[in-house]
Amino acid sequence: MYGELASWFHLVTAPADYADEAADVVRRLAGHGVELGPANPAATILELGSGGGNTASHLKTFAHLTLTDLAPPMLALSTTLNPECEHLAGDMRTLRLGRRFDAVLLHDAVMYMTTEADLRAAIETAFVHLRAGGVAVFYPDFVAETFRPSTEHGGHDGSDGRSLRYLKWTYDPDPTDTTVVTLFAYVLHEADGSVRTLDDRHVEGIFPRATWLRLLAEVGLRAEVSVDAWEREVFVGVRP
């Protein structure tokens, strides 16, 4: 999905559906001292693993965004949605821009950190890009304590005549390790009426809440966790 199928990503998950999550980011940042919008028109946010730029498409009205992702096709897609934002290729584990931001966002892309070393590296990337008093927000889909196997379906019709529907199945083949598997089955309906079905396997990280909090503290962030409106545990870290 992040490579040859990237142009279909907004038909899996549509930018319009991310307004509430962007508002959640804005509220959490304000709650930790980083005001966005008219009160702070120069505010800057770095997003690690910005994907199709869905969250960014709503956040960009509040701050100057630098959007980074491992996959150039996803950056290209995000550029079509967010042409006014800076887009840079980079791995969240190793990215070093030599700049500091008011805030760093790591949304669902953090799920691709599948070992404790990788998760620590991504948290460290967030830390080194924060100014003193800056705030990092992390939105894993689940922690070990909240994970449940699940099946869902969805998809959208595009304005270009293409449509996509998917089945998503997340399960944990080995509860003793730090990964779970998400399988997707996609039905791709082209504008000319032809149909393809494809499958896609994603390996995602799963860590106990205490591991998250320990890594955030080890890296140097003052950390806390709370539950959001979607019942996800959200980790917020402030750089002292």
Ligand X SMILES: C[S@@+](CC[C@H](N)C(=O)[O-])C[C@H]1O[C@@H](n2cnc3c(N)ncnc32)[C@H](O)[C@@H]1O
Contact 65, 91 (CB under 8 A): no
Nearer to ligand X, 2 or 62 (CB): 2
Least Cβ distance, residue 50 to ligand X (angstroms):
6
Distance CA 210, CA 233 (A): 12
In the bound state, the residue with its beta carbon closest to ligand X is 51
* Greatest distance between any 2 Cα atoms in the chain: 56
Least Cβ distance, residue 127 to ligand X (angstroms):
16
Nearer to ligand X, 2 or 142 (CB): 2
User: Would you tell me which residues interact with ligand X (CB under 6 A)?
Assistant: 2, 18, 48-55, 69-71, 74, 91-93, 107-109, 112
Least Cβ distance, residue 52 to ligand X (angstroms):
4
Nearer to ligand X, 93 or 189 (CB): 93
Beta bridge partners of 224: 236
Nearer to ligand X, 71 or 175 (CB): 71
Local structure of 136: helix, strand or coil: strand
Least Cβ distance, residue 207 to ligand X (angstroms):
16
b (16+ CB within 10 A) / e for 73-100? bbbebbeeebeebebeebebbebeeeee
